[in-house]
Structure 1
Amino acid sequence: MAIPQHRPLLRRIPGQDASDGAGVRLKRSIGSMPALRLDPFLMLDAFSSDRPDDYIAGFPDHPHRGFETVTYMLDGHMQHRDHMGNTGDLGPGSVQWMTAGRGIIHSEMPMQRDGRMRGFQLWINLPAALKMQPPAYRDIPADAIPSAEPAEGVHLRCIAGHLEGDTWRLAGAVNANGEAATDPILCDLWLAPHAGITLPVPDTHAAFVYLYEGAAQVDDAALSLDSAHVLGEGSAVSLRGGDQGGRCLLVAGKPLGEPIVQYGPFVMNTREEIEQALDDYRRGVLAA
C-alpha cells in the first residue's frame, strides 16, 4: 500500500466581515473576491451571533441559477421556502442541500427572535452541462448525518462524500457514491486537546480546512480562527487539536476547470448566459 502524501498548508483566507440578505452579518472567506474562489467552491459564508439584530432580517425571496448551495446549521432555527412549494426547517446539526440548476427562488428566514444563530453556507459550482437542469432540494435532519469516532478524542460527522481508515469507513448523507460531477466531501470534525487524525482526501480534489472553534493545526502549521486554509497536493490531511481542542470543517471537491462568470446569485460560463439569466428573472421565467 502506498504511503499517503500529506497535504501541506498553502495559504490562509481570513473570513471578512460582510452582510447579505436583508442585513445578516457574516464572515466570508472562500469567494470574498473572485481571486479567492477554490474550484469548484465559489463561496463559504459563516454566520454566528447571539444578537438578533445580526440575523433577524434573514434572507427574503431571492433567485439562484447555475450552482448548488449547502446550508449547515450548528445552532438556531431557520426555515426555507421556495417557488416549488418546498418548506424545510433547519435546526441544530441539520443540512439543506439545494441544487439551483436552471433557476430557483427561495427564502431562508430565522424562526427565532433571540438566542444564538450559527452555521455555514457553501456554494458549489455546477458544470456547464448541468447548470440548466431542473432545480432540486433536500432537507437532511441532524440524526440522518452519519458520525463516527475514528480515533481517540476525534468525532467526525460526514455530510457528503466518504472517508475511511484502516478499520473504519464513513459514507456521507449526500453524494456518498461519488455520483456528482464535483464529488464533494464535507465533514465536521471535533478534535479534543492534542487529539489527531490523518484523513484521506483524493489527490484529484481541491481541499481546504475552515477552523471555527478553538485551535488546531495541519501537520505543524497552526490554523487561524474563522479562516479557510487551502491545502496543497497530496492524498491525505493530518489534523490535530490545540491545547483547548478545536472544531473545523474539511471541504474537498473535484475542480471543473471551466470559465466562471458570476453576477450576484447567478453563476454561469459566459456573459451571454448571465444576461439571459437576468432577462429570464425580469420576465418571471427564471424558475419556470
Structure 2
Amino acid sequence: MSLRPILETRSAQPTMEGAGVHLHRAFGFHDPSELDPFLLFDDFRNDDPAFYAKGFPWHPHRGIETITYVLEGTVEHSDSLGNTGKLGPGSVQWMTAGSGILHQEMPLGNAKGQMHGFQLWGNLPAADKMTAPRYQDITGADIPEVTDDDGTRVRVITGAFWGKRGPVDGIAADPQYLDISVPAGVKKTFRIDTYRRAFAYVFEGAGAFADASGPEGVLLEKEVMGQEVNIRDLSGDRTLIRFGTGDEVTVQAGAEGVRFLLISGAPIEEPVAWHGPIVMNTQEELRTAMRELNNGTFIKPAH
C-alpha cells in the first residue's frame, strides 16, 4: 500500500454564478489537466434566499456531465427536452449534456431558508462528446450508506466501496464519489485506485490528512486529540485537498469530527477547448457549438 502525497491544500474562493448565486469555487476555469477528468467544483451554501433565489436560468451545456448533490433545501430543474424535476435533501442528479442541452436550475431553501449543495463538472472523452443527453435523478433514500465499527459513515453515490455500489452508473470516467463522515478523534484510511486522480473537499468539522512526505512517508507536525498524527494541517470547512499518486488516503478527525467528499476518476488525457458551459477538444468544435447556439441547431434530434 502507498499513501497518496498531498499536492496542494487550498480554500474554496467566493464567486457568483447564474443570476447572482453566491457560492464558493474550489477549482475551475484554470488548468483542466489538474484534476482531469474533473473540470469544476462549486459549493453553493447560504442561509439567505436573497443570495441564491435567482438561481441559474436557462443556459447551454455540451461535452460535459454535471453532478449536483443537494444536502439542504431543494433544486428545481427543467430542460429543453421537456424534463422537469426537483432534487430534495440527500439527492443527486447526474446530467450527461453530451451533444447539447439547454436547462435551468433554481435553488429553493428549506423552511429555515437554508440551501446547501455541490456541483461537479466531469469532462467527456471525444468519443462521447456528442452522445445523446440523459439524466439520472437519484433520491436520497436510494443512495446506500455503510457504517463501520468506529462510527465512520460513507454514502456511496457512485462507484463501489465497502461492499456497496452507488446507484449512478454508465459514467465515462468511471468515478468514485463518496460522502464520508469520520467521528471525533478517529483515524481512518480509505483505498483509492492508484490510477485515478483524486481530491477531498471538507465541508463540516476539520481533519488532518496524512502526507506521504518525510521519512518513511510520514510527516509528523502536531498532535490532534492527544495523538501524534501524520499531517500537514487541520483542514476545515471549504478546504480542497488535491492528492498525488498512491492507493490510500488517511485522515485523522479533529475534535468535532470531519465530513468530506472523496472524489476520484480515471483521467481522460485529451486536449480541452473550453468556453463557459461548453467543453470540447478543439477550437473549431467550440466555434461550431457557438454557431449552432446562434442559429437554433444546438439541440440535436433524438435518434
Deviations 1:208-228 (A, max 9, x none): 000011101212223243121
1:170 aligns with 2:164: yes
Question: 1:37: Cα distance to partner?
Answer: 4.1
* Cross-structure match for 1:238: 250
Q: Which has the larger radius of gyration?
A: 2
1:60 aligns with 2:57: yes
Match of 1:132, SS state, is coil
Match of 1:143, SS state, is helix
Amino acid at match of 1:59: F
Question: 1:48: Cα distance to partner?
Answer: 0.8
1:261 aligns with 2:252: no
Larger deviation: 78-87 or 28-37?
Answer: 28-37
* Cross-structure match for 2:67: 70
Unaligned runs of 5+ in 1: none
Deviations 1:193-238 (A, max 9, x none): 0123211100010000000111012122232431211111111211
* Cross-structure match for 1:276: 288
Question: 1:76: Cα distance to partner?
Answer: 0.5
- The 1-side partners of 2:287 and 2:31 are apart by 19
Residue number among 154, 157, 160 corresponding to 1:156 in the alignment: 154
Question: 1:14: Cα distance to partner?
Answer: 1.9
Amino acid at match of 2:130: M
Residue number among 240, 255, 265 corresponding to 1:228 in the alignment: 240
Q: What's the TM-score, normalizing by structure 2?
A: 0.88
- The 2-side partners of 1:17 and 1:182 are apart by 28
* Cross-structure match for 1:143: 141
Amino acid at match of 1:239: V
- The 2-side partners of 1:13 and 1:102 are apart by 34
Deviations 1:27-48 (A, max 9, x none): 1112152368410000000011
Match of 1:34, SS state, is coil
Alpha carbons of structure 1 residues 181 and 112: separation in structure 2 relative to 1, 3 Å: closer
Match of 1:27, SS state, is strand
Alpha carbons of structure 1 residues 35 and 127: separation in structure 2 relative to 1, 3 Å: closer
Question: 1:266: Cα distance to partner?
Answer: 0.3
* Cross-structure match for 2:260: 248
- The 2-side partners of 1:50 and 1:215 are apart by 21
Unaligned runs of 5+ in 2: 211-229
Match of 1:281, SS state, is helix
* Cross-structure match for 2:173: 182
Match of 1:47, SS state, is strand
Q: What's the TM-score, normalizing by structure 1?
A: 0.93
Amino acid at match of 2:266: K
* Cross-structure match for 2:196: 205
Match of 1:272, SS state, is helix
Deviations 1:109-139 (A, max 9, x none): 1234861100100000000010000000111
- The 1-side partners of 2:34 and 2:268 are apart by 12
* Cross-structure match for 2:130: 132
Amino acid at match of 1:183: D
Task: Indicate the percent of aligned positions where both proteins have the same amino acid.
Answer: 42
User: What does residue range 31-110 of structure 1 map to in structure 2 within 5 Å?
Assistant: 31=28, 33-34=30-31, 37-110=34-107
Amino acid at match of 1:262: W
- The 2-side partners of 1:271 and 1:163 are apart by 39
* Cross-structure match for 2:3: 6
Larger deviation: 204-213 or 227-236?
Answer: 227-236
